[in-house]
């Protein structure tokens, strides 16, 4: 696992259109929450937070790299100003951007909350994916995991429902 800023550049992520289509296709219930582990610049977290059609109660991004986290916080501050000025609609849910180790993520949700975990995991090596799989599988609140690569030992308590093709900024129709 690489924690460097060069490992996954800001242009290498799921497109907003693909993210919307993927999340919308899940038929998510009211009150659902997103945890983006390895959130980078926070674009997916912000998109989920601002899009009333997705209606997330909460969007959480966890990013290890200080520079990417700082850029995400700065972008969110700019968007907050646009909301305050009435140029963007007031989001109905909350957003959190956390700088930290995703292996230590605290899934602090109320019982019965539907949680989606997104992993833009192309930069994660096999050993890290195994460790991350154990963390995610141990969280009873997690119902759906979206990942760009499979877990080497599978994901205990989960089964593969489907593989979909989603446009990524560096390549069209990448399996998710």
Look at residue 1 and tell me if it is in a domain.
no
Look at residue 26 and tell me if it is in a domain.
no
User: How much is the pTM?
Assistant: 0.89
Look at residue 12 and tell me if it is in a domain.
no
Taking a C-beta distance cutoff of 8 angstroms, is the pair 37, 125 a contact?
Answer: no
Look at residue 36 and tell me if it is in a domain.
yes
Look at residue 23 and tell me if it is in a domain.
no
Q: Read off the CATH number of the domain in which 122 is found.
A: 3.40.50.150
pLDDT per residue of the chain (176 residues) written in tens, 0 to 9: 444 445 544 446 888 999 999 999 999 999 999 999 999 999 999 999 999 889 899 999 999 999 999 999 999 999 999 999 999 888 989 999 999 999 999 999 999 999 999 998 888 999 999 999 999 999 999 999 999 889 999 999 999 888 888 888 766 554 55
Query: How long is the chain?
Result: 176
Please report the pLDDT score of residue 84 as a whole number.
92
Name the nearest CA neighbour of 15 among 7, 5, 23: 23
Look at residue 71 and tell me if it is in a domain.
yes
| Domain that residue 81 falls in | 31-175
Distances (CA, A) of 137 to 134, 141, 159: 5, 9, 11
Query: What's the total number of domains in the chain?
Result: 1
């Amino acid at each position: 696992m690489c924690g460097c800023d060069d490992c996954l550049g800001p242009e290498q992520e799921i497109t907003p259109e693909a993210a919307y289509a993927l999340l919308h296709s899940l038929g998510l219930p009211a009150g659902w929450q997103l945890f983006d582990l390895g959130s980078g610049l926070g674009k997916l977290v912000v998109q989920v937070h601002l899009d009333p059609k997705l209606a997330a109660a909460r969007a959480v991004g966890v990013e290890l790299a200080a520079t990417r986290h700082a850029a995400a916080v700065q972008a969110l501050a700019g968007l907050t100003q646009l909301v305050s000025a009435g140029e963007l609609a007031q989001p109905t849910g909350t957003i959190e951007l956390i700088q930290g180790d995703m292996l230590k993520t605290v899934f602090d949700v109320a019982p019965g909350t539907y949680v989606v975990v997104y992993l833009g995991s192309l930069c994660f090596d096999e050993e890290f994916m195994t460790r991350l799989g154990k963390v995610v599988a141990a969280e009873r609140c997690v119902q759906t995991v979206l990942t760009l690569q499979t877990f080497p030992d599978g994901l205990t308590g989960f089964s593969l429902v489907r593989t979909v093709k989603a446009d990524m900024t560096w390549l069209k129709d990448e399996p998710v």
